[in-house]
C-alpha cells in the first residue's frame, strides 16, 4: 500500500505569483497549477492520496483533499484525515536530542547506559562496548527493524514492535525487549536503518526529565 501524504506549504509573500503588497489569496491559476501537480502524482501512482494546505501571510489560501485515504476500502481522503507520522518522527526525535546536546544535558558520546542502565545488547560474536548516543543518531548502533527480518528471527521471537504492527506495548517495554536480542554488528562498525531512534527517544525522555 502506498501511504497517503499530508503536505503543508507555507510560502513567503512573493510566492504564488503575487507581488509583495498583494493580499493573501490564491489566484485561479495558482490553484490550477497545484491541482495539476496533485492529480499527476495520483495518476502516476506516486501517492494514493493527499491533503494539501497552502498558507500565505499567515492565512490559508488553498486547501484540498484528493485521492484515497485507504486504497483497499476505497475510502476517500478528507481534509481532517489522520495520518501516521511513521519515519517523520525520526527528525523530530533527532532534533530534540541535538537540542539537549546544545543545552549541555546530553553528549553525543554518552553511552546509552548512562540513561538506560539495562540497555546492554550484544552482537552474536560476543561482548561489545556500550552503544552511544552518536551511534543511535547515525543508525550505526547495530540495531535493526523487525519488518526487515524473516518471520521467526530474533526480533519476531522477542515480539519487538516496529510501529507497523498491532502490538500495544510501552516504549520502555520495547526498549527492554530490544536489549535482549543480538546486535547485527558491533556498534560503529556498520550502518543499518533501525529502531535506533526509538531508543534515542527513550534517552531523550530520561535526559530531559
CA distance 133 to 89: 17
Q: What is the pLDDT of residue 178?
A: 96
Q: What is the pLDDT of residue 164?
A: 80
Q: What is the pLDDT of residue 37?
A: 96
Q: What is the pLDDT of residue 18?
A: 37
Q: What is the pLDDT of residue 83?
A: 87
Q: What is the pLDDT along the chain (209 residues), one digit of tens a residue?
A: 344 455 554 444 333 333 333 445 667 888 999 999 999 999 999 999 999 999 998 899 999 999 999 999 999 999 999 987 778 889 999 999 999 999 999 999 999 999 999 999 988 777 777 899 999 999 999 999 999 999 999 999 999 998 888 888 999 999 999 999 999 999 999 999 999 999 999 999 999 99
Burial of 120 (0-12, 13-18, 19+ CB in 10 A): middle
Active site residue 31: no
Q: What is the pLDDT of residue 10?
A: 44
CA distance 180 to 118: 10
Which has the closest alpha carbon to 160: 186, 180, 184, 189? 180
Q: What is the pLDDT of residue 28?
A: 80
Residue in 32, 87, 153, 170 annotated catalytic: 87
Q: What is the pLDDT of residue 12?
A: 41
DSSP structure class, residue 41: H
Axis-axis angle for helices 89-102, 196-208 (nearest 10): 40
Q: What is the pLDDT of residue 7?
A: 53
Q: SS3 letters for 68-117?
A: EEECCCCEECCCCCCCCCHHHHHHHHHHHHHHHHHCCCCCCCCEHHHCCC
Amino acid at each position: 500500500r502506498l501511504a497517503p501524504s499530508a503536505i503543508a506549504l507555507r510560502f513567503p509573500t512573493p510566492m504564488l505569483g503575487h507581488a509583495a503588497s498583494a493580499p493573501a489569496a490564491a489566484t485561479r491559476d495558482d490553484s490550477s497549477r497545484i491541482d495539476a501537480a496533485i492529480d499527476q502524482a495520483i495518476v502516476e501512482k506516486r501517492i494514493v492520496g493527499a491533503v494539501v494546505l497552502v498558507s500565505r501571510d499567515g492565512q490559508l489560501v488553498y486547501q484540498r483533499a484528493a485521492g484515497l485515504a485507504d486504497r483497499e476500502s476505497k475510502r476517500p481522503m478528507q481534509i481532517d484525515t489522520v495520518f501516521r507520522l511513521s519515519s517523520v518522527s525520526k527528525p523530530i526525535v533527532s532534533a530534540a536530542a541535538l537540542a539537549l546536546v546544545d543545552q549541555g544535558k546530553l553528549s553525543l558520546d554518552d553511552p546509552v547506559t548512562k540513561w538506560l542502565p539495562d540497555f546492554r545488547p550484544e552482537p552474536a560474536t560476543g561482548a561489545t562496548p556500550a552503544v552511544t548516543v552518536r551511534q543511535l543518531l547515525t543508525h550505526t548502533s547495530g540495531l535493526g527493524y523487525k519488518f526487515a527480518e524473516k518471520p521467526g528471527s530474533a526480533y519476531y521471537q522477542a515480539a519487538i514492535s516496529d510501529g507497523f504492527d498491532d502490538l500495544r506495548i510501552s516504549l520502555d517495554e520495547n526498549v527492554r525487549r530490544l536489549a535482549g536480542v543480538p546486535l547485527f554488528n558491533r556498534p560503529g562498525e556498520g550502518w543499518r536503518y533501525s529502531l535506533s531512534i526509538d531508543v534515542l527517544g527513550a534517552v531523550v525522555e530520561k535526559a530531559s526529565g
